[in-house]
Amino acid sequence: MSTASSPSRLGALLMTPVHFVMRLIDAPVRGLQKATGIGGMAAFFLAPNMLIFGIFVLLPLVINFVYSMTGGTAFFLSERQFVGADQYARLFTCGSYLDPMSCQEDAFWTAVGNTFWFVILQVALMIVTALITALILNRDLAARSFWRAVFFFPVLLSPVVVGLIWKWILQRQGLLNFILYEFGGTEPYTWLTDRNWTFAATIGVSIWAHMGFYALILLAGLQAIPKDLYEAAEMDGTRPARVFWRITLPLLAPNLLVVVVLALIRAVQIFDEVYVLTGGGPGTSTLYLTQYIYETGFASALRNPGLAAAASILMGVVLVVLTLFQLGIGRKQENKGKR
C-alpha cells in the first residue's frame, strides 16, 4: 500500500505549490466569471494564447509586408523610408533570366537555385528511404520497437549537434575517409571544402537527421491498412510484388502525399544543420534561402532588412501554397473517412 502510493504522494507534494498558485488565481477569476458569465470565460482562457500569437506571429506577418517596402539599415519602422516595390525590383533585376549570376542579387538566385535542387533531391531520396524503412519495420520483426527506435534516434538530435557530428566525421582526417582508405584504399576526400561534395553532404546529412520521422509516419500508415486485405490477397494467390503495387501503395498513397508535402515544407526552410556543417560554403555552393534571408537581414555588414523581408515573403508564398495543398489533402481524407 505505502510503496504503491509513494510516487503519487511525491507527485502530490510536488503539486502543492502549483495548487497554491492555482487557488490564488481562482479568486480574481471567480470575480471575472461573476461579471462576465460563463460565456466570457472562453475569452479569458483564450486571451494569453491569442495575445502571444498576435504579438509574435500575426503582427510580424503584417509588418513584414511593410518592411519589404522600406529601405535602409535601421530596424525600427519609424526610421525606415518607404521605397515601394524597389526591394522586389532589386530581387528581380537580372541581365538574363537564365543565368543567376547576371542578376543584381545573384546571391538570392543562387540560394533559390540551391534550395530548389536541394528540395527535389533531398525529399525524393528521403521519402524513398523512409518508405523502404517503414516497409521493413512493418514486417514480422522481433523487437520491432527497438529497430523503430534505431531509425528514429537522430530525429531528436539538435541540428547543431547533427551538424557537428557530421563535421567531425566528414573532415579530412575523419572517420569516413579512414573507412574509405581502409576498405577501398582511396585518397582522402575533402567533403566539406570541395564544391562537388558539400552539396551532396548537406543532402545526405539532412536525410540522416530527418528520415526516421517520416518512416515513423509511414509505418503508422502501413499499420492502419487492414490485415484482412492481405489475407484476401493471399487467398487469391497474389504475388508479393503485385500486393505491394496494387494494395499497399494505393492505400498508403494519402499518407505518402501528406508526408511528401510535409517534407517539402521542411526542406524549403533548411538552415540549422547546414549552417553548422558548411556555413553555406565553400563560396555559395550550399547557400540556401533561409541563410540568405538571415545573412541579408542580420549578419552581413551591409545588412538590408527590407530586402530580407521581401525574400522571406516570396519564400512564405511558396510555403503557404504547399501548406494549403496539405490541408486540402487532409480535408479530403477527413471527408472520405466520414463517408
Strands 81-82 and 70-71, how do they pair? antiparallel
Does residue 313 interact with another protein by CB under 8 A? yes
- Touching another protein, residues 34-53 (CB under 8 A): 38-39, 41-46, 48-50, 52-53
Nearer to another protein, 124 or 320 (CB): 320
SS3 state at 81: strand
Least distance from C-beta 37 to another protein, angstroms?
A: 8
What is the per-residue DSSP string for 127-170? HHHHHHHHHHHTSS-TTHHHHHHHHHHHHHS-HHHHHHHHHHHH
Q: Does 130 bind another protein (CB under 8 A)?
A: no
Q: How many other CB atoms are there within 10 angstroms of residue 149's CB atom?
A: 11
CA 201 to chain centre: 18
Long-range contacts of residues 300-307, Cβ cutoff 8 Å, at least 24 apart: 302/73, 303/73, 304/71, 304/73, 304/87, 305/67, 305/73, 305/75, 305/80, 306/67, 306/68, 306/69, 306/70, 306/71, 306/72, 306/80, 306/83, 306/87, 307/87, 307/90, 307/91, 307/105
Give yes or no for residue 142 binding another protein (CB under 8 A). Answer: yes
Does 132 interact with another protein (rule: CB under 8 A)?
yes
The position carrying cell 548537406 is 202
DSSP label of 187: P
Min CB(22)–another protein separation in Å: 5
d(CA 209, CA 201): 12
The amino acid at 29: V
Q: Which stretch binds another protein (CB under 8 A): 22-30, 86-94, 112-120, 191-199?
A: 22-30
Question: Does position 245 bind another protein by CB under 8 A?
Answer: no
Number of residues counted as binding another protein (CB under 8 A): 102
Q: Among residues 88, 275, 280, 286, which is the contact residue for another protein, using CB under 8 A?
A: 275
Q: Is 91 an interacting residue with respect to another protein (CB under 8 A)?
A: no
Instruction: Answer yes or no whether residue 22 interacts with another protein by CB under 8 A.
Output: yes
Q: Which stretch binds another protein (CB under 8 A): 83-91, 105-113, 118-126, 134-142?
A: 134-142
**Minimum distance between the CB of residue 88 and another protein, rounded to whole angstroms?**
15
Contact set for another protein, span 170-229 (CB under 8 A):
173, 175, 178, 181-182, 208, 212-213, 216-217, 219-220
Q: Confirm or reject binding of residue 89 to another protein (CB under 8 A).
A: no
Return the residue of 13, 35, 57, 98 that touches another protein, per CB under 8 A: 57
How many whole angstroms separate alpha carbon 256 and alpha carbon 130?
A: 10
Nearest distance in Å: CB 199, another protein: 20
94 or 329: CB nearest another protein: 329
The Cα 166–Cα 201 span in angstroms is: 9
Question: Is 127 a residue that touches another protein (CB under 8 A)?
Answer: no
Residue with cell 491498412: 225
101 vs 128, beta carbon nearer another protein: 128
Does 157 engage in binding with another protein (CB under 8 A)? Answer: yes
Distance of CA 127 to the CA centre of its chain: 14
> Of the two residues 100 and 159, which places its CB atom closer to another protein in the complex?
159
Contacts (Cβ under 8 Å, ≥6 apart) of 93: 103, 104, 105
* Nearest distance in Å: CB 95, another protein: 28
CB of 89 to another protein, least distance (A): 18
* 60 lines the binding site for another protein (CB under 8 A): yes
